[in-house]
Amino acid sequence: MTDTFHARPATGAPGTIRQPKIAVIGGSLTGPVVALLLLQAGFDDVAVYEATPATANLTGGLIGLEHAALDVLDRLGIGQDEFVAHDSETIWQIPVRHRRPAARVRRVYPGRNTTWTLLHTALARRLPAGLLHTAHRVTGLNAPTGQPALHFTNGHTATCDLVVFADGRSSAGRRLLDPDRVLRYAGYIAHRGHAHLRAPGLRDFLRLEPGPGCQYNVAPVPGGLDWTFYLNASPAEYTDRFGAPPTRRVFALPQHVSPAARAHVDTRAQQLLPAEHAATVHATATRMAVPVMDIDPPTRMVWPLGRGHAVLLGDALAPVRPHTARGANNGIEQAAGLVAALTQHRKYRADLDAALHGWQRRHLPDAVAAVHQGPAIGARLGLGTTTGDTTR
């Protein structure tokens, strides 16, 4: 057995293993959940490093969380009234023909909808002062003295016993640990918008399917409506409309949305969607876009590193297509499993390697399943291509 935690002695009960020093990379959703669970479990040498000066609303918008993830948040003391603005469980699936809605089918979602902003705010306000280090972008990782060492673009270096990479779809951790798994553009775009419109009758999530090559989702969020409009586009079209190739600009922020991109989305909405939804799109001032990406399924989540370890989780492990509605769910469930494994090690002297590999064995199949599910849903909707544009 290797005990890789060689940090400060534990101050807790006799028999517990010394406190490891844990660095969490990424301050969006998965990272703060890991950090808060670690603190709750009694790990007190935790730091979160976030690349941006202030965590930015990159992924934005509506996020459906299933019961397992909701329960993790509940156990952190984050009540749903704080991050669920509309407590509907209903998804209306609506075929659309010639811009007219056909008979709709009601589905019951085993969870609730939140938004990135509500959830991130609820998590961030619970992080103790001094835990989050913004403007710290990881670029390198090694273990020259046996202890993992992180290197940041600002010149800072931090040593630790465990590195938890929760740094999202363009993860530096994945590039360093699992470099052969590169993002491939899937051939379509999730155009997104927040319309400052009142829709008093709308409580539920609407999923409109106008036919091959298009899907439109809309739901109420605080202050208006959140919509996502999926449309096919070649890599060249993405580049023309958003200023850089999809594999480089993995989030197109409002400043990247060109007038041509805006006009294209308005035109397609006018051609494909019922008038009220086309009007919502048209009235939306601030827009974003997310190129849908694929990646080879992960084969591991844990890497030994000197006397320590590094792990990947959340979108850093496997950014899955948005239709699966599994990205944030996977990250939160993996975070809870990781902290359970580390707790068994620290509190009851479970073998650390075995605990981490047990965690991997439990969570890898779900991540792999979600990676496979995305292209299957895309194919059913006529979205995307099988060829891909790759990057490193």
Ligand X SMILES: Cc1cc2nc3c(=O)[nH]c(=O)nc-3n(C[C@H](O)[C@H](O)[C@H](O)COP(=O)(O)OP(=O)(O)OC[C@H]3O[C@@H](n4cnc5c(N)ncnc54)[C@H](O)[C@@H]3O)c2cc1C
**153 phi/psi in degrees, rounded to 5:** -65, -25
Q: What is the closest distance, in whole angstroms, from the C-beta atom of residue 14 to ligand X in the complex?
A: 37
**329 phi/psi in degrees, rounded to 5:** -60, -50
Distance CA 271, CA 302 (A): 48
Using the contact rule CB under 6 A, the part of the chain among 126-134, 314-322, 334-342, 369-377 near ligand X is 314-322
Which residue among 34, 51, 261, 383 contacts ligand X (CB under 6 A)?
Answer: 51
Which residue among 193, 246, 331, 388 contacts ligand X (CB under 6 A)?
Answer: 331
DSSP assignment letter at 390: B
Question: Which amino acid is present at 224?
Answer: G
Cβ atoms 88, 205 nearer than 8 A: yes
Question: Which amino acid is present at 339?
Answer: V
168 binds ligand X (CB under 6 A): yes
Closer CB to ligand X, 295 or 350, in the complex: 295
164 binds ligand X (CB under 6 A): no
DSSP assignment letter at 81: H
Q: Which two tokens stand for residue 318?
A: 């496997």
x/- map, 116-145, ligand X, by CB under 6 A: ---------------------xx-------
Distance CA 112, CA 136 (A): 33
246 binds ligand X (CB under 6 A): no
Using the contact rule CB under 6 A, the part of the chain among 77-85, 301-309, 325-333, 334-342 near ligand X is 325-333
Q: What is the closest distance, in whole angstroms, from the C-beta atom of residue 132 to ligand X in the complex?
A: 11
310 binds ligand X (CB under 6 A): no
Which residue among 2, 11, 52, 386 contacts ligand X (CB under 6 A)?
Answer: 52
Q: What is the closest distance, in whole angstroms, from the C-beta atom of residue 117 to ligand X in the complex?
A: 11
Max Cα-Cα span within the chain: 71
Distance CA 179, CA 30 (A): 21
Q: What ranges make up the beta strands (E) of 184-223?
A: 184-195, 205-209, 214-221
169 binds ligand X (CB under 6 A): yes
Applying CB under 6 A, which residues contact ligand X? 25-31, 49-52, 55, 59, 61, 63-64, 137-138, 166-169, 172, 190, 192, 228, 290, 314-315, 322, 325-329, 331
